[in-house]
Structure 1
């Protein structure tokens, strides 16, 4: 699996900003009962793990990632934040080292978009989920981005991110596919709710945390690949990024939709 955003310190900061900014929107209704066993598949640097732990302090969380480096960073963050109910392990979502029906709940956030075969990943985690256990899947959809002032150059820059992720085998438009994917994987009672982010200058924390430090920073992160692959010329790219920052200005607005799916085995 190729991670389109890379593993730089700036990317780590972006992930932390994203998680903290979107905590209420995405996670306020994710709470697990005391004593339950939860598998967080694809924990990355632990940004979501901290939130899971705070929401469900008496649940036992196993957080896995395929990257040794990310898992180590997740352990350090958890220690810093006082997380005591999460265990971090290096593991492959397609070859989970657990017995059938080990976990009461599965949590997957911002992972399927990076996988060449997300359906196989869902089938894999289903194996280790207990009967009547739940799965929660959260993904964004870059095609849901719209903003003011409108900018063709900004849309071209965003398309570069979408196309590069596709070249790497991922799908940054996967949010709209959560419902059919969960159904195809054999889960029941599938329910998907859109979680829209709307930002204007009356919400300065969201301007900084989402428009600038989450979304625009994510697009900026593929600059080198976009120019090397000649997907866009440098002048258009610079104008597009500048225009994305304009949406964070006094008269700018920005909208984006995440999709949260839940289901039962």
Structure 2
């Protein structure tokens, strides 16, 4: 999702990132990463000295969790946005002042590294915003050594369901999916992650669903994920959805209110992420 983000609306559109690069979006990405760290990063740790590439690090929301779990790795973090890289560098420095991370501004489809430069590649909430995810995976395979591992995490907005149910909320989610598609992305990419990896030439592909379920018994998760992550993400495309004629202001505002009800004491919310691992080669 993700994803999950921050600096000017115009530069975002150029990069296909439908949520924009605002400070609010940067905070949302941080909230999302922190709320889901145990769920998404479980099982991901890299040996000391290993060469790791985080492709599409954004504002560093996931980077801090990579550093926390693998303090001895040699990490290179890449993103297309210099503004996001500056925020990522500051975020990591604030939490891990001794961490050594190499920061590079580059396009995933044209990485400035030699063949087989990395032992491991980590990609989280990036492919859903790329017009050609298979091509991006093939480009990443070039810089991954034979037998090296790839980890990819993506969401799928079609997996979202909630109580109380709301036709307005379901419509707003569909509008977000449509707007992301218009920007060249795919908010439903999680369901086809496995086939994409196979088509891109990776082997030993394994995809595991990582499900988030929040209800009144999990109020902190309901706040951090249902309200402050997912609902905030939908709310961020309100003006675009209205401008595109997909929804009236009143209908969209009703959708956001209904999603917030799902984060309340009597509400429930379900969402599935897909975490894939694979190796470079058959």
**TM-score in terms of structure 2 length:** 0.93
Partner Cα distance (2:23, 2:60) in 1: 14
The alignment partner of 2:53 has SS state of strand
Partner Cα distance (1:234, 1:70) in 2: 31
Partner Cα distance (2:195, 2:270) in 1: 24
| Structure 1 residue 85 displacement after superposition | 2.9
Matched, 1:232 2:232: no
Does the aligned pair in 2 maintain the 1:154–1:239 contact within 8 Å? yes
| Partner deviation per Cα, 1:190-212 (whole Å, 9 max, x = no partner) | 00000000000111210111001
Q: What stretches of structure 1 of length at least 5 have no aligned partner?
A: none
Does the aligned pair in 1 maintain the 2:29–2:61 contact within 8 Å? yes
Indicate which of 106, 109, 132 corresponds to 2:147.
132
| Structure 1 residue 125 displacement after superposition | 0.5
Partner Cα distance (2:238, 2:103) in 1: 32
Give the match for residue 211 of structure 1: 226
Q: What stretches of structure 2 of length at least 5 have no aligned partner?
A: 1-14
Give the match for residue 85 of structure 1: 100
| Structure 1 residue 131 displacement after superposition | 0.7
Indicate which of 140, 155, 170 corresponds to 2:170.
155
| Structure 1 residue 218 displacement after superposition | 0.2
Does the aligned pair in 2 maintain the 1:154–1:240 contact within 8 Å? yes
| Partner deviation per Cα, 1:126-178 (whole Å, 9 max, x = no partner) | 00001100000000000100000000000011111100000001000000011
Does the aligned pair in 1 maintain the 2:219–2:265 contact within 8 Å? no
For 1:175-214, list aligned pairs within 5 A: 175-214=190-229
Does the aligned pair in 2 maintain the 1:200–1:251 contact within 8 Å? yes
Matched, 1:13 2:32: no
Partner Cα distance (1:166, 1:264) in 2: 29
Does the aligned pair in 1 maintain the 2:151–2:278 contact within 8 Å? yes
Indicate which of 184, 191, 208 corresponds to 1:169.
184
Indicate which of 138, 151, 157 corresponds to 1:142.
157
| Structure 1 residue 240 displacement after superposition | 0.7
Superposed structure 1 runs of 4+ greater than 2 Å apart: none
Matched, 1:73 2:87: yes
The alignment partner of 1:231 has SS state of coil
Structure 1 range deviating more: 45-54 or 230-239:
230-239
The number of equivalent residue pairs is 265
| Structure 1 residue 46 displacement after superposition | 0.3
Q: What's the C-alpha RMSD, in Å, of the aligned pairs?
A: 0.7
